[in-house]
Structure 1
């Protein structure tokens, strides 16, 4: 198994649970993080080595990443596994899966790459690389079937992990927050490159909003290995007076908050599943954006908007991800309780659509691949 990011590590952890209940003597090895390691996964390299985003950022680490992939391929071909599962990280995994499958090793890819967003050509690579694709969004298997790629919709594991009705009061008590005051979650991303790009903007926006809402509390659930850097950025630049930084606990923070400011990525879906209105933002290297923009197949970037097929929450990208505009978008939500209630209802419907027994469905599909 290879999972290169925190979100993939979480997905893989759930599936490992279901696989171990079927195959108690399962040996799982490769690249994975804390969630996988908690399920007796043996990491050959730390997941952080693959956790880079954007063309410009990847180029800086390309030699090391390609070296790891080559060493991993050689190791897997020398000691052949029954199955290789690539979890997300398509730029790393699909090429590796194609090489392994070409040598007769069965491959499953968990999380369909976002071909529907901006890379339709990638479906041909999926066809060559994968015996089966496990899809977390309901519209994906039909799309893949048109191109001859076997796929199964397994639901989104986060939709099962997150309760339909979050316990706001309990989460606030757990985090030591006021039961009544306004709480705004600030989620700058799980990668170091995202935090460098987004957190100063988010903190400056929060500082502006604090002037209008002096009693509001701003809470950052920090990825533990980046907490020191987050604290340093908060000290160095403009930041709100009432800022709380907690290690991890992103789900408790989302349950506790009224509103979220989120970097585009899996965290936007988590916020939606917690039924929280949000402002989605993203700013990447100009070269990365210039290369991606013309290839976009949809008008939306944030997962809640893509899944609802409309702009249910605002997206502020690149030059629009300015502190003043972010603060204004947050203030607009806080001033519109009816709008907040309407989006919460949309997110309840979305949650029901995504809620399946993901780990069991994934293990069923994996078992069929192994049987053929």
Structure 2
């Protein structure tokens, strides 16, 4: 996924964790104000967006290399309303300095804390600085926004705040925690594609959702931002593929901003072993005139292309189908526009 429309200096070093341009633009519009303090600016992807929507941005990072990259990226884009600092954004000396100089002016604080590159399970406790440190240091501002790992579901976030989950092109991308006057609701899901869609409300317990055992004629893949924010409407009938994947199913066509993919269920087949399952799926795809098959479900990554190439064997020009693997069975579905 291309994160920036123009190359960023330092992208090869800090680009992995940099905020994609479309996401940065959305958050900058939401946090538009006169003066904003950004803690953990990195190479400046979010900084540039903030600078376009705020009169002034104060950007700080503990890594001087990142600040140097961010300065260069702003300069190359003609941005002159950002003041940079190399510091720990919650250090008492820095907080007193910025408070003394800008207490009247700073309205919002945005922080992207550092986190381990990988963990067995994402946790608020691994964020540095912690949300508690940020809230305590900048208790005097009107609003605070803190980026958190999007793997955290609402019930695992021990703060009274808005939890906003963002997907980009159908993939879960960011979680932002909002405090103070920037809070709009308890939980929200934002879907960024060619346009921006937003849903909001109070999260529900997934154990209370309406799960069904039968897949009807039509199936719909909900956007992960809606699933993670726990905002699926209770009226939906939910068919579980595996621990991570669910489908909304209905005997009739549905339309909803919650969906990222829509399908017509073609067949449900079983196989005593994988080779039999692959053969049956391939026969169905050829019969249906498929041109391409995307393999979904709990498939070992090292086996993915071997299985996909075999189920696509002999396919010619035609429609795209998705094949969901569910244990010893497969669901073959035609992709609808």
TM-score by length of 2: 0.35
- Higher fraction of helix: 1
Q: Which has the higher contact order (CA 8 A, sep 6+)?
A: 1
- Higher fraction of strand: 2
TM-score by length of 1: 0.32
Q: Larger Cα Rg: Structure 1 or Structure 2?
A: 2
